[in-house]
């Protein structure tokens, strides 16, 4: 058995998934919380070149992130089931809720997703979900996941690369070339973070630029960071990071779109500096992020900010690249559905933020997931 070390932070859902995977297969490992020790964080960065968790050391091999395919090779070669009544793409509020409803209807169900929790994982605090006065996105999705596990639903954490029709069924192919046949589909893959849109941006992912503040925030203890965005998530991130970092720049491209409650909270913080009507035009540093160049949109004046971390909170785009030729999309690349979650293709349903519904809220996504599951059951009973 290889010697395994997991470098993680307390609130990182991807870290939790990695450790849960190892636990399920009874594989011993050492966990190091890099959010509690600056020395441990620097050790992780030296090993991996990454300011992002999880980092998993398997003997002399370094695995960046929760890479289930590579971990799977360590533990088992078992052949999984490949034929299902319903395959659900996505494990956010919509997908997880749909899975529980499908399982209760005794449908053979598989969830395929890149993560568990989807966009909800990015929420530091949720205050409008019934039954909770306040809960973090990670904690809420952990409760969703526990209920799915209790139902014994198959779950594969890997990207989907293609879906195609095969007769009256559908074939779903994943990034490891595994194929699954299904009688029906629920598309609930949500959205992915929008890029900032500057040159060489991808080179800084994990090297100072992060799209998961709840995961990577603790790594920037007493450092100078920036948060890009003007909505609720950006303000939440800036407020939370003000208690971790020494200085936080909040960079807002146009106008403030956050609720007043977050504006009031931010105004009480003494180590947040706001750049309103500025856009990020360049990132610099090698190999780690060391600076960002901003440009004032009216005067075109530029400012160079020395910093060590940046969190992008500028919105989301639908994860619909692999279904573009399968179902009808609207001008925003969202899946068009009717009031009962039907797409343009028989046997394919959709729910949550990936769809054309206006409300993009966790509680709405969960409700839409339940609706989609019930429609799948009705469809299968009549076909």
pLDDT digits (tens, 9 = 90+) for 248-266: 999 999 999 999 999 999 9
User: Which is nearest to 284 in space by CA: 167, 200, 355?
Assistant: 200
Are 256 and 184 in a shared domain? no
Is 212 catalytic? The answer is: yes
User: Are residues 183 and 320 both part of a single domain?
Assistant: yes
Which of 312, 346, 373 terminates a domain? The answer is 312
Average pLDDT over every residue of 165-191: 94
Within 10 A of 376 (CB to CB), how many other CB atoms are there? 27
Residues 6+ apart with CB under 8 A from 117: 13, 91, 92, 137, 138, 141, 142, 144, 145
- Among 312, 328, 351, give the residue marking a domain's end: 312
Catalytic residue among 12, 15, 102, 216: 216
pLDDT of residue 70: 79
302 and 214 within one domain: yes
Which range has the top average pLDDT, 34-38, 80-84, 105-109, 232-236? 105-109
pLDDT at 78: 53
Residue showing tokens 């809420």:
140
Backbone Cα Rg of the chain: 21
Task: Tell me the mean pLDDT in the region 80-92.
Answer: 92
112 and 30 share one domain: no
What's the rounded mean pLDDT across residues 34-43?
92
Question: What is the per-residue pLDDT for 75?
Answer: 61
Q: Which of 102, 215, 341, 353 is catalytic?
A: 215
- Cα–Cα distance, 72 to 174 (Å, whole number): 14
d(CA 44, CA 314): 28
CATH of the domain at 108: 3.50.50.60
Active-site residue among 12, 15, 102, 212?
A: 212
The CA distance from 227 to 209, in Å, is: 10
- What average pLDDT score do residues 24-43 get? 91
For residue 21, give its domain range: 4-75
Do 233 and 173 sit in the same domain of this protein?
no
Higher-confidence residue of 241 and 20: namely 241
Q: Give the integer Cα–Cα distance in Å for 291 and 226.
A: 10
pLDDT at 26 exceeding the cut of 90: no
Average pLDDT, the chain: 92
What distance in Å separates the CA atoms of residue 225 and residue 212, rounded to the nearest whole number?
A: 14
Same domain for 240 and 187: no
Spatial distance between the Cα atoms of 309 and 248, rounded to a whole number of angstroms: 9
Active-site residue, 15 included: no
User: What's the pLDDT band for 285 if we cut at 50, 70, 90?
Assistant: very high
Q: Specify whether 252 is located in the same domain as 228.
A: yes
Residues 189 and 320 grouped into a single domain: yes
Q: Last residue of a domain, which of 250, 277, 312? A: 312
What band does 76 get if pLDDT is binned at 50, 70 and 90? low
pTM: 0.81
Asked if the model's pLDDT at residue 74 lies above 80, the reply is: no
Q: Based on the structure, what is the number of domains in the chain? A: 3
Q: Judge whether 216 counts as a catalytic residue.
A: yes
């Amino acid at each position: 058995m290889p010697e395994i070390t997991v470098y993680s932070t307390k609130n990182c859902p991807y870290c939790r998934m990695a450790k849960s995977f190892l636990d399920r297969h009874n594989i011993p490992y050492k966990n190091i919380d890099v959010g509690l020790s600056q020395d441990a964080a620097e050790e992780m960065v030296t090993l991996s070149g990454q300011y992002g968790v999880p980092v998993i050391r398997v003997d002399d091999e370094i695995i960046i992130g929760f890479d289930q395919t590579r971990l799977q090779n360590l533990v088992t070669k078992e052949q999984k089931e490949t034929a299902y009544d319903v395959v659900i793409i996505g494990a956010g509020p919509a997908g997880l809720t749909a899975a529980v409803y499908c399982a209760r209807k005794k449908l053979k169900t598989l969830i395929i997703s890149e993560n568990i929790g989807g966009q909800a994982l990015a929420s530091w605090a949720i205050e409008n979900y019934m039954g909770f006065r306040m809960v973090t996105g990670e904690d809420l999705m952990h409760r969703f996941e526990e209920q799915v596990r209790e139902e014994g639903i198959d779950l594969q954490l890997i990207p989907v690369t293609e879906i195609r029709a095969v007769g009256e069924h559908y074939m779903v192919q994943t990034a490891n070339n595994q194929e699954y046949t299904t009688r029906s589909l629920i598309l609930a893959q949500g959205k992915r973070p929008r890029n900032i849109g500057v040159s060489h941006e991808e080179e800084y992912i994990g090297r100072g630029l992060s799209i998961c503040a709840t995961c990577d925030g603790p790594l920037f203890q007493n450092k100078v960071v920036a948060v890009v965005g003007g909505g609720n998530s950006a303000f939440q991130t800036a407020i939370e990071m003000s208690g971790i970092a020494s200085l936080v720049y909040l960079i807002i491209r146009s106008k403030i779109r956050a609720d007043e409650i977050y504006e009031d909270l931010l105004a009480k913080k003494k180590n947040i500096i706001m750049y309103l009507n500025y856009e990020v035009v360049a990132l610099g540093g090698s190999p780690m992020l060391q600076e960002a160049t901003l440009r004032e949109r009216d005067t075109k004046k530029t400012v160079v900010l020395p910093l060590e971390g940046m969190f992008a909170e500028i919105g989301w785009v639908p994860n619909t690249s692999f279904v573009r030729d399968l179902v009808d999309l609207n001008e925003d690349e969202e899946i068009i559905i009717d009031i009962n979650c039907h797409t343009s293709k028989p046997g394919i349903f959709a729910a949550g933020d990936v769809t054309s519904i206006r409300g993009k809220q966790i509680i709405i996504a969960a409700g839409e997931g339940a609706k989609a599951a019930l429609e799948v059951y009705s469809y299968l009973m009549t076909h």
